[in-house]
Amino acid sequence: MTRIFIDSDACPVKDEVYRVAGRYNVHVFVVANRMIALPSSPIIERIVVDAGPDVADDWIAERAESRDIVITADIPLAARCVEKGAYVLEPKGRILDSDAIGMALAMRNLMTDLRSAGMITPGASSFAKNDRSRFLSALDTLVVKARKPKMPSVMPSFD
User: Average pLDDT over the chain, rounded to whole?
Assistant: 86
Domain that holds residue 45: 3-101+128-147
pLDDT in tens, 27-64: 999 999 999 999 999 999 999 999 888 899 999 999 99
Residue 108 within any structural domain of the chain: no
CATH number at residue 47: 3.40.50
8, part of any domain: yes
- Tell me, yes or no, whether 156 lies in a domain: no
pLDDT-wise least confident of 10-24, 26-40, 71-85, 120-134: 120-134
Q: Is residue 107 part of a domain?
A: no
Question: What's the one-letter identity of residue 50?
Answer: D
44 within a domain of the structure (yes/no): yes
> Does the structure show a pLDDT above 70 at 113?
no
Q: Decide if pLDDT at 87 tops 60.
A: yes
In a domain, 119, yes or no: no
Q: Do 10 and 72 form a contact (C-beta atoms < 8 A)?
A: no
Query: Residue 50 falls within a domain, yes or no?
Result: yes
**Separation of alpha carbons 97 and 99, rounded Å:** 5
Measured from the Cβ of residue 13, the count of other Cβ atoms closer than 10 Å reads: 22
Full-model pTM: 0.81
Where is average pLDDT lowest: 65-69, 77-81, 92-96, 108-112? Answer: 108-112
Rounded Cα distance between 6 and 56, Å, is 10
Does residue 116 form part of some domain?
no
Q: How many separate domains does the chain show?
A: 1
Q: What is the DSSP letter of 30?
A: E
Among residues of the chain, what percentage have pLDDT more than 90? 61
